[in-house]
């Protein structure tokens, strides 16, 4: 007797791929929605640093350009973990610097992905945990899913 795919036992079925949680990300300063496609992430070269990333640039943010010589004496320099080319992002609602966009990953980060046999999820927008509020996005019956 031949068993169909539907008739196979659950023991021989492959386990389902793990589902990654998706989050709603809002600006901590003003509450403006930044993204409904956020995912928890870590820095490749410092896995102990948690942040959130998204595969699409949030509509409610803009590039922030550091002005030469203004405020640089009071503000400490940000410690870089790598040589990726990045662009700082600010909230359109309140101006808070909420994160950055990776324009071009550096060799160290690309090699880290290959070395640990990981794959990049294509997320190039990174938001700092200290600058956002996070709420898990839930499925609502009758509405389009995640």
Q: What is the pLDDT along the chain (146 residues), one digit of tens a residue?
A: 444 444 444 455 555 555 778 999 999 999 999 999 999 988 777 778 889 999 888 989 999 987 655 544 455 555 677 899 999 999 999 999 999 999 998 998 888 766 655 656 677 899 999 999 999 998 767 766 55
Q: Kindly tell me the burial class for residue 122, based on how many C-beta atoms sit within 10 Å of its own C-beta (0-12, 13-18, 19 or more).
A: exposed
Query: For residues 56 and 123, what is the distance between their CA atoms, to the nearest angstrom?
Result: 7
Residues linked to residue 134 through DSSP beta bridges, in sequence order: 25
pLDDT of residue 76: 53
- 94, 23 Cβ separation under 8 angstroms: no
pLDDT of residue 16: 54
pLDDT of residue 4: 43
CA dihedral of 133, 138, 140, 145, whole degrees rounded to 10: 110
Structural domains in the chain? Answer: 21-62+83-136 (2.170.150.20)
pLDDT of residue 113: 66
Dig out the tokens for 64 from the structure: 């922030």
pLDDT of residue 136: 94
* Dihedral sign of CA atoms 129, 110, 81, 69 in order: negative
Dig out the tokens for 68 from the structure: 């030469």
**Cα angle: 106, vertex 107, 108; to 5 degrees:** 95
pTM over 0.75: no
- 30, 93 Cβ separation under 8 angstroms: yes
Query: Residue 25 CB: number of other CB atoms within 10 A?
Result: 26
CA dihedral of 116, 118, 121, 126, whole degrees rounded to 10: -20
């Amino acid at each position: 007797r031949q068993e169909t795919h539907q008739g196979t036992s659950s023991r021989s079925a492959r386990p389902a791929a793990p589902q990654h949680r998706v989050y709603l990300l809002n600006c901590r300063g003003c509450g403006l929605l930044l993204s409904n496609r956020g995912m928890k992430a870590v820095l490749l070269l410092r896995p102990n640093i948690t942040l959130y990333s998204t595969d699409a640039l949030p509509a409610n943010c803009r590039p922030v350009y550091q002005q030469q010589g203004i405020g640089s004496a009071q503000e400490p320099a940000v410690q870089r973990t790598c040589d990726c080319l990045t662009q700082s992002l600010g909230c359109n609602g309140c101006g808070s610097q909420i994160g950055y966009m990776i324009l071009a990953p550096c060799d160290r980060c690309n090699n880290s992905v290959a070395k640990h046999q990981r794959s990049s999820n294509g997320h190039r927008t990174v938001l700092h945990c200290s600058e956002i509020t996070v709420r898990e996005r839930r499925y609502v019956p009758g509405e389009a899913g995640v």
